């Protein structure tokens, strides 16, 4: 049979490919979801809008059962389904928390409850929820050090901070865990191990919704703002949607309304915030493809890499940038170098005789064609340098994927981040070319 090559068939094929990419496979028949559904029903929640499904691009998420209109409530989860510090304090742990001095933090209360209930297994009333929680996470704190080493520098530094923070959280909680020994037949050290606490910490960090609680004497003064919301926490993130999510004091339900509309059987997303990919990886352990907020960070060392070392005013210029907050958050994005990056470069490229104009530069005024050209040239050089570096890391990751098969998932995640950064840099290089040719 002759192949159809007309425009209509091309469009149809493209549409089919696009819907196949995002088409989810219903998972509501799976045992864990049947159990969770029963558990939710006992708590007076039945979902008419959504169902669990697996999607090729985003993994497990929620799919619309019918089309959903803009402004429609997509989920309204009753208070008694939420796991908050109230749940913990009202539980068998309450007496131990109240006795412990200094008071445990709200986060420690939630993590302790999660570990303890997980340990209780079949005996836990939260079992149907615990069963659907991921067994492992992909936040940098869970990545192997050799994989963390491959992250872009600013993210690597934050990943190391994250690891130190969780290790300190564990070390400083051990005495409190010891105080819980009367509750358990086994040694608490084996129940509240580092890996168990890490799992609980990642569960709260990647899945909790924002829900502010008043301060209670038995907990420390740190903000009590996290609640786990079973089922609702199956919603994945998209940077391109808008939702309104909050606890409704009248209905006593945690409600999410969508500002987007959804066709039947589409994946329904919420937005976790306008985060770039490095932040998404740090906090949630994933990378969003074509994220409009994604960017590539330019450090101070790279900023000055291509500037003439003979510039006597260089130190002064850097101090000015520091004093005016222009040394941080300098980025390349999909639409080129950020205004902040170009402004910093314009100041660094100021000719000696124009140095007194530095305030005008920071206010966005054009000083001279020479200054405009010099700053664009440096931006282009930095961008090309980043493209070269990114390609080199991608090659290294690709080799490691062949050699370290056990790390393939972690390496694929890091690869995705670098591939997105490469696309951003290529787009930026093109924008810079246009800007350079547009100059007189
Ligand atoms: C609140 S949970 C959402 C449900 C989760 N997919 C699950 O199966 O339990 C947040 C986690 O989902 C994953 N996730 C969310 N949005 C994603 C996306 N757009 N692409 C890939 N993974 C995503 C990340 O692992 C993140 O830490």
Span 183-192, pLDDT tens digits: 999 999 999 9
Prediction pTM value: 0.93
| Ligand 1 pocket, Cβ-based, cut-off 6 angstroms | 58-61, 134, 206-207, 233-237, 284-286, 288
- The CATH architecture annotation of domain 83-228 reads Alpha-Beta Complex (3.90)
- Using 50, 70 and 90 to split pLDDT, how confident is the model at 18? very low
Instruction: Report the separation in Å between the CA atom of 300 and the middle of ligand 1, taken as the mean of its atom positions.
Output: 33
Span 116-160, pLDDT tens digits: 999 999 999 999 999 999 999 999 999 999 999 999 999 999 999
- Taking the CA of residue 207 as reference, the ligand 1 atom at the shortest distance is 1
Span 259-289, pLDDT tens digits: 989 999 999 999 999 999 999 999 999 999 9
What is the pLDDT averaged over residues 52-71? 96
Span 313-355, pLDDT tens digits: 898 999 999 999 999 999 999 999 999 999 999 999 998 888 8
Classify residue 265 as left (phi > 0), alpha (psi -120 to 50) or beta: left
Instruction: Report the separation in Å between the CA atom of 99 and the middle of ligand 1, taken as the mean of its atom positions.
Output: 37
Span 70-79, pLDDT tens digits: 999 999 999 9
The pLDDT score that the predictor gives to residue 2 is: 42
What are 342's two structure tokens?
A: 């170009």
- Segments in 250-368 forming alpha helices (H): 277-284, 300-305, 314-323, 339-348, 358-362
Atom 15 of ligand 1: nearest residue by CA position = 236
Residue 351 backbone dihedrals phi, psi, to 5 degrees: -70, 150
Atom 13 of ligand 1: nearest residue by CA position = 236
Residue whose entry in the numeric block shows the structure tokens 């010891």: 178
Q: Which of 53, 61, 254, 293 to mutate to test the pocket of ligand 1 (most atoms within 8 A of CB)?
A: 61
Instruction: Report the separation in Å between the CA atom of 301 and the middle of ligand 1, taken as the mean of its atom positions.
Output: 34
């Amino acid at each position: 049979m002759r192949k159809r090559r007309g425009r209509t068939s091309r469009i149809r094929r493209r549409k089919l490919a696009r819907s196949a990419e995002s088409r989810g496979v219903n998972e509501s028949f799976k045992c864990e979801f049947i159990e969770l559904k029963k558990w939710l029903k006992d708590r007076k929640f039945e979902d008419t809008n959504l169902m669990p499904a697996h999607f090729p691009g985003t993994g497990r998420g929620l799919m619309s059962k019918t089309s959903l209109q803009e402004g429609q409530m997509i989920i309204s989860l009753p208070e008694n389904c939420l796991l908050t510090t109230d749940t913990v304090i009202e539980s068998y742990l309450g007496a131990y928390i109240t006795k412990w001095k200094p008071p445990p933090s709200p986060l420690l209360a939630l993590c302790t409850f999660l570990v303890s209930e997980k340990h209780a297994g079949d005996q836990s009333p939260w079992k149907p929820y615990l069963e659907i929680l991921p067994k492992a996470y992909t936040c940098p704190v869970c990545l192997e050090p050799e994989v963390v080493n491959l992250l872009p520098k600013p993210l690597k530094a934050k990943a190391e901070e994250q690891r130190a923070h969780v290790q300190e959280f564990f070390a400083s909680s051990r005495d409190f865990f010891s105080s819980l020994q009367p509750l358990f037949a086994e040694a608490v050290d084996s129940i509240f191990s580092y890996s168990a606490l890490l799992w609980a910490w990642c569960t709260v960090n990647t899945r909790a919704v924002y829900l502010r609680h008043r301060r209670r004497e038995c907990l420390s003064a740190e903000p009590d703002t996290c609640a786990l919301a079973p089922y609702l926490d199956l919603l994945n993130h998209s940077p391109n949607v808008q939702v309104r999510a909050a606890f409704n004091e009248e209905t006593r339900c945690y409600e999410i309304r969508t500002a987007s509309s959804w066709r039947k059987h589409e994946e329904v997303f919420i937005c976790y915030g306008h985060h770039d990919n490095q932040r998404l990886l740090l906090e949630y352990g994933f990378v969003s493809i074509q994220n409009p907020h994604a960017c590539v960070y330019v450090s101070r060392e790279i900023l000055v890499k291509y500037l003439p070392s003979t510039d006597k005013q260089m130190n002064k210029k850097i101090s000015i940038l520091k004093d005016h907050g222009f040394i941080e958050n300098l980025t390349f994005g999909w639409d080129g170098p950020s205004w902040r990056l170009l402004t910093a470069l314009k100041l660094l490229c100021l000719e000696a005789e124009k140095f007194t104009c530095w305030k005008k530069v920071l206010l966005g005024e054009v000083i001279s064609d020479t200054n405009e050209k010099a700053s664009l040239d440096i931006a282009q050089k930095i961008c090309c340098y980043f493209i070269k570096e990114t390609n080199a890391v991608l090659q290294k990751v690709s080799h490691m994927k062949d050699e370290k098969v056990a790390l393939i998932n972690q390496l694929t995640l890091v690869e995705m981040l670098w591939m997105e950064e490469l696309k951003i840099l290529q787009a930026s290089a093109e924008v810079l070319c246009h800007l350079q040719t547009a100059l007189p």
